[in-house]
Amino acid sequence: MMRKTTFVAGLSFLIMGYGAYSGEHWSYHGKTGPEHWGDLKPEFIMCKIGKNQSPVDINRIVEAELKELKISYRPGASYLVNNGHTIKVSYGKGSYLEVDGTKFELKQFHFHAPSEHKIKGKLYPFEAHFVHMDKNGNIAVIGVLFKEGRKNPVIEKLWKNISSKVGEKVKITDKINAYDLLPKKKRYYRYSGSLTTPPCSEGVRWFVMVEEMELSKEQIEKFRKLMGGDTNRPVQPLNARMVMKQD
């Protein structure tokens, strides 16, 4: 019982930090960039040797009779932090993704620019990841791709709270529901992958939305300027995996 409790607690720490693994120096560029992650620390070895890594280029697609995702979100964005790798929004209790007969609680969401996933070779300017965990520590992530277009009102509310000071938590005063950052149609691609930042742990259920969302060029550039450039891990080999698409 103690071993299981410790395991879940460790995963809880991991998921809350997903987007920036605390206490270890890694980056998206140079000698601490993605191609070197697996050599920075023994705990990061899966970034180097893993066979089911994320993100991927979604191009080996099988149409499948996948069930609709049961998404039950309510307003719960509590605070955001610029952790030096992304803008991470922590979420309060009570919002869930139900899949495979299991409830996964929404813990946080964060962003990447440009996108981490590609669709048949196409890279998007922006991507959001909604990170969930079940009671046993299993992780499920919803990915939403964004194209350049109209100003996104939810992103606008979040961006006004951004601090340029790395590590500073800013309380969100606006009532923000993460559901409003999801497309109306919830068709999705599904595959088994990993966290896209160190330690690149595998066994993550990935659900990437087929339909895109929009945000403005100014909103994209504000994020990129704050992050100092690209914040995406390059796509990883699919190897023996197939990507299922909800028909």
Q: What integer pLDDT is reported at residue 247 of this predicted model?
A: 87
What CA–CA distance (Å, rounded) separates 67 from 167?
39
Whole-number pLDDT of residue 150: 98
85 is catalytic: yes
Q: Which domains does the chain have, with CATH numbers?
A: 2-246 (3.10.200.10)
> How far is Cα 147 from Cα 6, in angstroms, rounded to an integer?
41
What is the pTM (predicted TM-score) of this model?
0.92
Provide the pLDDT for residue 13.
Answer: 41
Q: Mean pLDDT of successive 10-residue segments in the chain (247 residues)?
A: 39 51 76 97 97 97 96 97 96 97 98 98 98 98 98 97 92 96 98 98 98 98 96 97 95
Q: What is the pLDDT of residue 19?
A: 55
pLDDT at 24: 56
Which of 25, 29, 36, 85 is catalytic? The answer is 85
> Cα–Cα distance between 28 and 32 in angstroms, integer?
7
